[in-house]
Amino acid sequence: GAVVSQHPSRVICKSGTSVKIECRSLDFQATTMFWYRQFPKQSLMLMATSNEGSKATYEQGVEKDKFLINHASLTLSTLTVTSAHPEDSSFYICSASTGGMENIQYFGAGTRLSVL
Amino acid sequence: GDSVTQMEGPVTLSEEAFLTINCTYTATGYPSLFWYVQYPGEGLQLLLKATKADDKGSNKGFEATYRKETTSFHLEKGSVQVSDSAVYFCALSGNTPLVFGKGTRLSVIA
């Protein structure tokens, strides 16, 4: 199947700093990428949908100024958690959609963010 | 809106036991259906999929059949292994991004 690379896999930062997470589709072009947040032992919560070259669409309750999303190319989307606080600590997962008839989402391995 | 309901876990089985994880859905139109698996500390991996009624998805000994009449996509495996221990998510894709069930944690003991 298609490969989605997410980096870093783990990050620990101080409160008030910003953290950038990258999501790359390695062997296909993804017109749409998604960002999810997962709390311990829970399902994935969709944060935003990102389309190449346009502004991301955020789900209700997700602060767009806190979670900045940039989809600069067909293979790269980034999520920046600005001025991170301990409550932002979570597991963040990206996915990229193949589009077309199949329209399958392939997921990155996730990033565990710990804010001290 | 679209939704997915899957059986709550955790499910604990002995090695070589038969596995069924139930999944039913509500959707308008004709969604595609998926099972994803998440191993500890990792992202989600696509396990299998079915894109239309009566399709059977299969992979690594797991299978699920798209049943339109019962709006179900139950996951089955005839003989589980310890390495199958993970969280399994049923999902559908219609006119919106993937809609996930809450996940079912499977633990297989030797």
Contact A46 B97 (CB under 8 A): yes
Residue B1: what pLDDT? 82
Beta strand extents in A8-115 (DSSP E only): 10-13, 19-25, 32-38, 44-51, 57-58, 67-73, 76-81, 90-97, 105-107, 111-115
User: Which of the residue ranges A69-83, A95-109, B11-25 would you say has the lowest mean pLDDT?
Assistant: A95-109
Tokens representing residue B97 in the block = 């991004």
Report the residue from B42, B93, B100 with minimal CB separation from A44.
B100
Torsion of CA A72, B42, B86, A40, to 10 degrees: -90
Q: Parallel, antiparallel, or unpaired: how do β-strands B104-109 and B11-14 relate?
A: parallel
Residues of A in contact with B89 (CB under 8 A): 43-44
Contact A109 B42 (CB under 8 A): yes
pLDDT tens digit string along B58-79?
999 999 999 999 999 999 999 9
User: Which of the residue ranges B21-25, B42-46, B48-52, B72-76 would you say has the lowest mean pLDDT?
Assistant: B42-46
A14-41 mean pLDDT: 91
A69-93 mean pLDDT: 93
Task: Using a pLDDT cut of 70, give the percent of chain A over it.
Answer: 97
CB pairs under 8 A between A and B: 47
Residue A102: what pLDDT? 66
Q: Name the more confident of B42 and B66.
A: B66
Report the residue from B32, B44, B49 with minimal CB separation from A107.
B44
Residue A100 reports pLDDT greater than 80: no
